[in-house]
Every structure is written in structure tokens, then in C-alpha cells.
Amino acid sequence: MVKSTTIYEGGLHCSLVHEPSGAMVATDAPVDNNGKGEAFSPTDLVGAALAACMSTIMGIVAARKGIALEGMKVEVAKHMSADPRRIGKLEVVINVPLPADHPDRQMLENAALACPVKQSLHPDIEIPITWNWLG
């Protein structure tokens, strides 16, 4: 179990603290929902968590095989739905610094698809993934 604490600061801003490390993240409501967009919104963090989780799981698998993934870049574009207001789509683009014919390509892609955040998201959220093998 890992515990975090969120403090509402007012003005639609929150401070989040990861208790084991003391790391902090700030949030703000997005401009289209009464905020100033001065920080990640809570739903932005969901997209960022997906990207970080996919990257981390790929990194774990790659490290076991001695594959260098440093410089891999994952971008997520979050699209909101209106009724009810929720995340409707998370478009993911994964830029992998390896050639398209890498022998462990399928293993790395499968690792990303099995990440815990992706497995935890509601099935109604569309998650199209574009893979760019750049090596």
C-alpha cells in the first residue's frame, strides 16, 4: 500500500504529496472547467500516468534483456467527453529509439499494453496507440 495526501489550497488548486518520497505535484482545474490551467488537471494526470506506466513497464522488460530505451518519448492527448464530463479518449504516441524490425518489438509492445494503469482504465475510454520505431 502506498499513501498520498491531497490538500485543497483554494482557487481550484490542490497539492498532492506522495508520502513515501515526499514528492509533490500541483493541480489546477483546466480552463474549460473554471480553472486557470496553471498546472496539470486531475484528468491530465491520468494521461500522464498512463504514459509513465507504459514507459516504466517497457523499461523493466528492456532492462532484463539489456535493451537501451533511454530517450523513448510517449505523448498523450487527452480528449474529454461532455455528458457526463469524463475522459473520452487518450491518444498515445510512443516513439521508440529502436528499429522497427527489432527482435523484441512485440515483447516491448505487449509490456506497454499490459501496464497496470492501462488495465485499470474504464473500457469506455478509447486508447488508440501509434507506435513509431525510430532506430
pLDDT digits 0-9 by tens, 86-107: 999 999 999 999 999 999 999 9
Strands 24-28, 13-18: pairing is: antiparallel
pLDDT digits 0-9 by tens, 43-75: 999 999 999 999 999 999 999 999 999 999 999
Query: How confident is the model over 6-32, as a mean pLDDT?
Result: 97
Q: 19 burial class (0-12, 13-18, 19+ CB within 10 angstroms)?
A: exposed
Strands 129-133, 85-96: pairing is: parallel
Alpha carbon distance 133, 131 (integer Å):
6
